[in-house]
Amino acid sequence: MGLTLVEKILLRASSSKELADFIYARLDFCFGNDITAPLAVKEFDKAQFSAVFNANKIGFVCDHFVPARDFKAANNVKLLREFATRFKIKHFFDIDTCGIEHVFLIEQGLVCPGALVIGADSHTCTFGGIGAASFGVGSTDLAAAMKSGRCWFKMPQTIKFIYKGKLNKWVCGKDLILSTIGKIGVDGALYKVMEFSGPVIKKMGVEERLTMTNMAIEAGAKTGVIEPDETTFKYLRQVQGKKFKFKPAMRKLKSDMDAKYSEVIEIDVTKMQPQVACPHLPSNVKGVGALRKIKLDQVVIGSCTNGRISDLRIAAKILKKKRVKKGLRVIVIPASHIIYRAAEKEGLLKVFFEAGCIVSPPTCGPCLGGHGGILDKGEVALATTNRNFIGRMGHPESFVYLSSPAVAAASAIKGRITHPDEVS
């Protein structure tokens, strides 16, 4: 019996030669952020560990509550800095050098195809978009991993999704994953791998692929994955430069033809229109055409889901020489400093400023109810983020809709949920 890509990576990282229900595997990289890593550090010290397994394979990325919103947030960053100094951890990144972890770590070449990665953040599954096996874990798991360099895994089953047909104008990876979650539900892939494949995925750019794997967790999946190909390698050469160490074996990072899947689901995208997830679940999905009467108080374009340069280009294309609706708050958040500088160089930031948007430094911002865009009672937001649970972006009686950057930009102009064709 053949193996799936994730099964191959887990077996490669373990001493086992065949599949088992549970596996103890060596990690290529582990990381946490300014919310989760301080808890891991405290557990590490509580256990009286005196050394880390490899100072070059641990990362701390300060991206959630930064610029520090209060003294507790500032203390978290200080705690991580001191721990990194104590154990000579090279990859400590404060706000002045980084960005959102799931974007930034790829830019830094710290995650590559075929790697086994854990992160104390549920959206660690993002890295499956370049062919890594990446899993979100708890802070105590990270503490143990920083000491041992290993982690226990229950071997997950895999659902294979095959996307066929032709994408319509304005339909992108965000729409595909929202539609898929809408079909299977928030527990439709519980503790399974979502393997995205088919001719539509093959033609898709890597940043759209990363958007899809980023949201696998919203269907309950343990991770999402896409087989790396020449498109992947070309992208990594561009983004990582000399940091990308291509290995011929990366071309073999594929699921076997006879791999066993728990389910195979085929999806025809031909008739799909831009999708929007309505409050209060990512699975409460409707076509944009059904929501054109929803008025907005705020639009957010950014996050680890859709804060990459391609996302900003799409938004700027729609907003160019236009103004956002009077009284509407529109917040644009480039996902990293590299993306911020690229957007500035390309003139995208100027487009956003002239349209009346607020441009934030790279941060998770309001996505998790952090800061820099929190909603009050009764307010309605449309965001390119990944979650819209009750209270996710502020007051428990606020409302969050999720969409692609194109829909978000068009909606910013009209002040209500809008199809991009209405303004382009």
| Exposed/middle/buried for residue 71 (C-beta within 10 Å: 0-12, 13-18, 19+) | exposed
Please name the residue ranges forming H helices in 228-387: 230-240, 303-306, 309-319, 337-345, 348-355
Residues 72 and 181 occupy one common structural domain? yes
Query: Which range marks the domain in which residue 30 is found?
Result: 5-267
Identify whether 272 is part of a domain.
no
Which of 236, 267, 298 finishes a domain? 267
DSSP 8-class letter at 205: -
150 shares a domain with 90: yes
β-sheet bridge partners, residue 383: 300, 402
pLDDT in tens, 44-65: 999 999 999 999 999 999 999 9
Say if residue 239 is in the same domain as residue 161: yes
Whole-model pTM: value is 0.95
CATH no. for residue 226? Answer: 3.30.499.10
pLDDT band of 96, cuts 50, 70, 90 = confident
Q: Are residues 288 and 259 in the same domain?
A: no
Final residue before a domain boundary, out of 210, 232, 267: 267
As for how many domains the chain has, the answer is: 2
241 shares its domain with 299: no
pLDDT in tens, 397-419: 999 999 999 999 999 999 999 99
Name the pLDDT band for 224 (thresholds 50, 70, 90): very high
Whether residues 56 and 195 share a domain: the answer is: yes
pLDDT of residue 16: 80
| CB contact at 8 A, 164 and 200 | yes
pLDDT digits (tens, 9 = 90+) for 288-307: 999 999 999 999 999 999 99
Domain boundary among 267, 301, 316: 267
Whose structure tokens read 């770590």? 105
Do residue 56 and residue 197 come from a single domain?
Answer: yes
Cα separation, 314 vs 231, in Å, equals 20
Mean pLDDT of 200-210: 98
Question: Which tens digit of pLDDT belongs to each residue from 126-157?
Answer: 999 999 999 999 999 999 999 999 999 999 99
Reference 223, options 62, 7, 403, 11; nearest CA is 7
Question: Residue 22 has what pLDDT?
Answer: 93
pLDDT of res. 18: 83
Q: What percent of the chain has pLDDT over 90?
A: 95
Could you give the CA distance from residue 214 to residue 164 in angstroms, rounded to a whole number?
21
Give the list of residues 6+ apart from residue 134 with CB closer than 8 angstroms, or none.
Answer: 111, 115, 116, 117, 118, 119, 124, 125, 126, 127, 128, 223
| 65 shares its domain with 199 | yes
